[in-house]
Amino acid sequence: MKQRLRVLIAVGALTLGAAGAGTARAAEAAHGCPTAEIFATNNTAVITDPADPRLWTRLDRFDREVRGIIHTNGARPGASELLNGVFWSGESRRTTYERSREFDVTRVDRDGLHHIASVIAKQYHQESVLTFRCLPRTAPETDAVEIQEPGVSATRLHDALAGDPEARDELGGGSVTLDGRLVLVAPLADLPLARKFTASLGVDWNKAQVRYGDEEFVS
């Protein structure tokens, strides 16, 4: 992703009624959603070896610095979590890997979030930084969904991408937390493909946690 930040991507629309009452029963998790989230990394290298030691970093200094940027620009930083990403590079036709962090942000509006993300993108030389604002499913600005489900490893994610050319080309990839929780963010657009792909990862659609909101890739 540098084509979508190479972080967290791969799920399509979750319009619960669109696929029929019995086919999309993921649980809405708005009550646990922060005001906003920022997904970012300080990595600028293309990493193709899953054993590369650069993927072992905890990004502790990056964590402190980004939290400082959030605070300096008038918002409040919340929790931060490490992510392991597995992505398909359409340009090089190979799998790439990335260590990144997700930052919870409160006391921020849309413009403030955009500004903070643009500062992070410039400071760490990123093509884009992904933001996600949690909103009600029916809000006019809602254009994306974030899905979380435990029990997924980076290896399983890699193998699923390798075995599904359509998913790797259209969805790009995804990320997991260190304790094996899949986190996927994407526009409300490709529900059938997304459900097929997540099913191949062992995701139980009846138990998956869903957050609706507004996504933006800020450069």
Q: What letter does residue 189 receive in the DSSP assignment?
A: T
- Predicted confidence at residue 26, as pLDDT, reads 55
Angle between helices 60-72 and 110-123 (to 10 degrees): 140
The enclosing H or E element of 190 equals: none
- Predicted confidence at residue 194, as pLDDT, reads 75
| Positions of the chain with pLDDT lower than 50, given as ranges | 1-25
In this predicted model, what pLDDT tens digit does every residue of 10-61 receive, in sequence order? 333 333 333 333 334 455 555 678 999 999 999 999 999 999 999 999 999 9
- Predicted confidence at residue 49, as pLDDT, reads 93
- Predicted confidence at residue 73, as pLDDT, reads 98
Distance CA 154, CA 123 (A): 28
- Predicted confidence at residue 205, as pLDDT, reads 80
- Predicted confidence at residue 30, as pLDDT, reads 54
For residue 58 the two structure tokens come to 């905890």
Task: Record the pTM.
Answer: 0.85
Contact 38, 73 (CB under 8 A): no
Terminal alpha carbon distance of the chain: 13
Alpha helix ranges (H) inside 24-181? 60-72, 110-123, 154-162, 165-170
Burial of 30 (0-12, 13-18, 19+ CB in 10 A): middle
Cα angle for residues 68, 142, 70 (degrees, 5° grid): 5
Cα angle for residues 53, 59, 62 (degrees, 5° grid): 140
User: Nearest-CA neighbor of 117 among 150, 153, 69, 72?
Assistant: 69
User: Nearest-CA neighbor of 128 among 114, 110, 147, 111?
Assistant: 114
For residue 74 the two structure tokens come to 């008038």
